[in-house]
Amino acid sequence: MEGLELTSKIMEYKHVSAFFIAIFIFVAFGFVVAQEQDQNQDQNPSSRKIIVFKEGLSDADEARIIAGSRGTRLGRLRAGNLSVVQLDKAGEARIAKYQGVVRVEDDIVVDALETVNGNVQKAKAPIVPAQVLPWGIDRIDADRVWPTSETGAGVNVGVIDTGISISHPDLAANVKGGVSEVWYTSSYNDDNGHGSHVAGIIGALANTIGAVGGAPSVNVYAIKALDRNGSGYLSDVINGIDWAITHGMTVINLSLGTDVDVQSFHDAVIRAKSAGVIVVAAAGNSGGAVLYPAAYPEAIAVAATDISNTAPYWSSRGSEVDLAAPGVNVYSTYKGTKYATMSGTSMATPHVAASVALALKSASDSATDVLGNCIAVYDTNCDGAWSPDEIQYKLEATATDLGVPGQDDVYGWGLVNAYAAMQ
């Protein structure tokens, strides 16, 4: 715009001087024009970036940096030093050079982790089936915990997913709130089905209909960060994690992942754990390397097993796997008032999240020797409360070992057992 104004002023001068000034402008700025033309010819001229600004930078300074890079801010994340900015290649290179910018990262797409080739059966009509005990809930012995009157009451579990059906008679009473982080809706109602399925494995009601979750009195929160197709921007997932931290979640379930390691994703998981939030994440369905965030050491990575306690070929594997849980042909609640049978490490993960919710209510084993030293096996600082590390260790130590004895790449420490974790 300034260039155009300048050019119009030049026209007020006599022809000769205008000619030389015009030559100067052409020589001085010609290369910029050429660069812009290259950009315009680029197949993908601009993309979404997560900009990590230095802590404490003023709004004005951030705005100046974005403007100086000819970027468009699409949003500021809950972690205030992070912004999503639309930038072309030149702007990306430019913004990275500012002193006030710590990192420039791709705002990648993360996916829900139900299997494409699994046995997915989705109920066609909103029928009201009689309640059954899903095999996975039976297998982790959650049903053996309930008679002791422990059903997860008072524990807040955040499901960072596609939302949760707000109209489902087998879920609604346990859904205590939530948020939508996706751009097209402010409702956390589930427009996909995946999030409702995951939520039902954790906390479908113990009533007379449909399914029942592992912790059927838990408080479930719908943190919608994935869209109607089951995909979402990493920035929305990070926002969901920060919402969970500031809204009192004790556990978060991440049945989603990506094979791209992004520092801001890892930082968000670290923030959660540091705040005392237990992070449970799906290992992945590629049969290959464990995805992020499950691969981060601060998350509990969950692999899948079938009804024969065998991992399906698609359950991702690696030293990062911590636990295994039922993830094949899992029956649970779905979109609207439906039910569905689905497979994936997405389904295994909430079995562990439910087990965490129950184990959090188990009594501390705090004990001291004659010298006053803490000798507890699980509550290792004898403070009477469960930290994320203590709960993870308790679930791993009480899991049913599968595969190669001890920890292995396929099953981690073994099949989670909620009943054993309560003892």
Q: How far is the CB of 235 from Ca ion (least distance, A)?
A: 34
* DSSP-derived secondary structure for 320-341: TEEEEEE-SSEEEE-STT-EEE
**Three-class DSSP category at 62:** helix
Q: Using CB under 5 A as the criterion, which residues of the chain lie in contact with Ca ion when the complex forms?
A: 131, 170, 205, 207, 210, 212, 379, 381, 383, 385, 387, 390
Q: How far is the CB of 271 from Ca ion (least distance, A)?
A: 20
Give residue for tokens 């139900």.
Answer: 114
Q: Which of 180, 346, 355, 362 is catalytic?
A: 346
196 belongs to the catalytic site: no
Burial of 96 (0-12, 13-18, 19+ CB in 10 A): middle
346 belongs to the catalytic site: yes
**Residue with Cβ nearer Ca ion (253 or 333):** 333
**Residue with Cβ nearer Ca ion (95 or 347):** 347
Asked if residue 357 lies in contact with residue 202, where contact means CB atoms within 8 angstroms, the answer is yes
Q: Which of 107, 190, 194, 379 is catalytic?
A: 194
- Kindly give the pairing relationship between strand 321-326 and strand 299-305: parallel
Q: How far is the CB of 194 from Ca ion (least distance, A)?
A: 19
**Residue with Cβ nearer Ca ion (210 or 230):** 210
Q: How far is the CB of 378 from Ca ion (least distance, A)?
A: 8
Burial of 396 (0-12, 13-18, 19+ CB in 10 A): middle
Exposure string of 278-303, with b = 16+ CB inside 10 Å and e = fewer, is bbbbbbbbbeeebbbbbbbebbbbbb
Q: How far is the CB of 208 from Ca ion (least distance, A)?
A: 7
167 belongs to the catalytic site: no
Exposure string of 110-127, with b = 16+ CB inside 10 Å and e = fewer, is bbbbbbeebebeebeeee
Q: Which of 161, 191, 322, 408 is catalytic?
A: 161
- Radius of gyration, CA atoms only, the chain: 26
Contacts of 308 (CB under 8 A, 6+ apart): none
**Residue with Cβ nearer Ca ion (83 or 332):** 332
**Residue with Cβ nearer Ca ion (108 or 132):** 132
Q: Is the peptide bond before 350 cis (omega within 30 degrees of 0)?
A: no
**Residue with Cβ nearer Ca ion (387 or 407):** 387
Q: How far is the CB of 385 from Ca ion (least distance, A)?
A: 5
Active site residues: 161, 194, 346
